[in-house]
Structure 1
């Protein structure tokens, strides 16, 4: 009874502190937009506010949602006071995602993830600051033997011109811009967001970020077209987090909210899906290939096949069984960040064996056999060591028995 009374008292105290305190809570950055050369530019600004402002921004007058959010804030505050995994700052998107979660276990696991992410960032900053303090650059005057000496190295005289990361980034973007004018088009179908959970959507956005990076550094990149994009969905929000300049007018990627049927001729479209029967034997440089942007860890239905049939366009799959020995139990649907590099190398070399090197090795039979051999060798080594230990133990026991028998024969009491 005392424990229950103590818990209720702590919850009430926490609620009063949460409602009446002036504690500042970090909320999501908002966008401040200005116009430059007739193009809008948006910059994120960090803003702090009290819980009431957070509630007003998220709930927008919905009484039921406000009640749920305040209970959720109270739950998070109690977790903080109890020393459980809960982050110190939660932004608006994270509060919204917490509201969408249905069970308490899901909320606790998400808060644990946010807590670990926050602590990892803090540890990284602390290590970076410690390294900065350890690395003390001596003054140039102390490094010179004579006053007229020239210093060579970083931040001093050098024979080579330093190429900065920004220059490399601009060069890669220029290559992607050339592909937008003269390169072959490829479509990324982003219409599967409703079939994915939040974690899969975040993973799909991460894969799409890798696709953009791999495409622009290639010698002969594609002209990327993202079709059926929901500009207010979780996928685009995560993409903007990964690539903040995605919505800039100069960014080398085409983003369409409409279907690919409205952008390209229907007879040129070829949907690449692992569920169809026809194999892609030869790369067509005039075709417009479509790759579905979907992570199907939960939903394994052939959605891309159904959509291609519904739209009435051609379908094809990669000839994986012809060139690779697939491991039993491995799925033959590849991620989008594997598909695009395969198509890039296939377009440039027309060599399937070279292009399929981007297939993850864990899916192949060769890797499976190597893993089995490794486990078998480890087991054999363990058995050999165990047998050696047993043989040594048996030898010691035998010697001890032998000594005891000798003592019993020549003992004074037995004479």
Structure 2
């Protein structure tokens, strides 16, 4: 079974793009083949810290013997790695130890430690540069007063533009219905990409172009209990559902718009997406494991139109055709404004693009 999946994934990732000659004519390929969805049923697990165990004191008091044994094992593993000279420069906090419990294999725990070490080095470098070049930043009372006024005014403008966008702009749906199929690492990636997406929303609200109107749907069992939203709130403790720059609802997009107005986006689709096709739906998933065709399968099971972004219509795309959620939102926004894939490709990461005809070396 795994060999078959690996072959299917290799064929999908490394097939060459079709040589479209007329870029302006939005070619579309229709497929009559059907797709039978065989999803990998995987229930989500309990993430630390949770409502029951919020710190190490709660862990020592409420954890089961198996959990305590697992904590001792990963601590011994960490000290062994430190003795080899890999991570002796970091000292994990209580919260980081609890998060470290979520990683089930040694490889994922090592990657988690590398991320912590990288963040610590970046922070130390920033502090060193700040001390050498800028020195301590001191706000006088007048500067603090004008800074607060500017922040208040900017937030008021953003809220006003967002309210107008909810009434006037077509939305972009973000489907959170895959949260129970994601592990801890994947949910962290989704949350980080959504944080970048919030920055794109703020930029669109203070620009002269249209403002992004994004709806987080299928936030089950409730917006506050959805694993993705819950992780988002833990990253920003003062944030509540009402403070988000998006609309969050446990309803499905099928409850908000008719099927004929909806289009599910998937890199496995045969036809390209055009802004006049309908309201796009983005699946809040990441492409880390071989959980292929999840978005395609969901759109097919709900009898929705399925399209893929025209990212390879005007240029060659190297590597995986899947994009991060923030890149998809940025690309869709540019495409909806310009209707031109050539201009929309500016939203793509540089590693995905390469010149078709590189210059010859002299």
In the superposition, the TM-score normalised over structure 2's length comes to 0.68
Deviation (angstroms), 1:226: 0.8
Match of 1:331 among 320, 339, 344: 320
Matched, 1:214 2:217: no
Deviation (angstroms), 1:134: 7.4
Alignment match, 2:249: 256
Alignment match, 2:65: 63
Alignment match, 1:291: 282
Do the aligned residues in 2 keep the contact of 1:198 with 1:234 (CA within 8 Å)? no
Could you say if the C-alpha distance between residues 115 and 360 of structure 1 is closer, same or farther in structure 2, counting changes exceeding 3 Å?
closer
Matched, 1:99 2:97: no
Alignment match, 1:341: 330
Q: Within 2, Cα distance between the matches of 1:136 and 1:208?
A: 33
Deviation (angstroms), 1:308: 0.3
Do the aligned residues in 2 keep the contact of 1:204 with 1:293 (CA within 8 Å)? yes
Do the aligned residues in 2 keep the contact of 1:273 with 1:305 (CA within 8 Å)? yes
Q: Within 2, Cα distance between the matches of 1:237 and 1:198?
A: 12
Tell me which structure has the larger Cα radius of gyration.
1
Q: Within 2, Cα distance between the matches of 1:251 and 1:336?
A: 17
Matched, 1:301 2:301: no
Deviation (angstroms), 1:361: 4.1
Q: Within 2, Cα distance between the matches of 1:68 and 1:217?
A: 44
Deviation (angstroms), 1:350: 3.1
- Per-residue CA deviations over 1:312-344 (Å, capped at 9, x if unaligned) read 22222233444x1324x5333333222222322
Q: Which structure carries more strand by proportion?
A: 1
- Per-residue CA deviations over 1:168-217 (Å, capped at 9, x if unaligned) read 34422331232123322221112233444433332222222222222342
* 1:5-404 correspondence to structure 2 within 5 Å: 52-56=57-61, 60-73=62-75, 75-76=77-78, 85=87, 87-92=90-95, 94-131=96-133, 133=135, 164-218=150-204, 219-229=209-219, 231-232=224-225, 235-241=228-234, 243-244=236-237, 246-284=239-277, 287-299=278-290, 301-322=292-313, 324-327=314-317, 329-366=318-355, 369-370=357-358, 373=359, 377=361
Greater mean alpha carbon deviation, residues 190-199 or residues 126-135: 126-135
Alignment: residue pair count: 303
Structure 1 runs not aligned, ≥5 long: 1-27, 32-46, 140-153, 381-415
SS in 2 for 1:355: helix
Q: Within 1, Cα distance between the matches of 2:126 and 2:133?
A: 11
Alignment match, 1:407: none
Could you say if the C-alpha distance between residues 181 and 247 of structure 1 is closer, same or farther in structure 2, counting changes exceeding 3 Å?
farther
- Per-residue CA deviations over 1:130-166 (Å, capped at 9, x if unaligned) read 55657899x9xxxxxxxxxxxxxx96xxxx9997345
Do the aligned residues in 2 keep the contact of 1:189 with 1:226 (CA within 8 Å)? yes
Do the aligned residues in 1 keep the contact of 2:178 with 2:285 (CA within 8 Å)? yes
Q: Within 1, Cα distance between the matches of 2:292 and 2:75?
A: 37
- Root-mean-square deviation (CA, aligned residues, Å) is 3.9
Deviation (angstroms), 1:250: 4.4
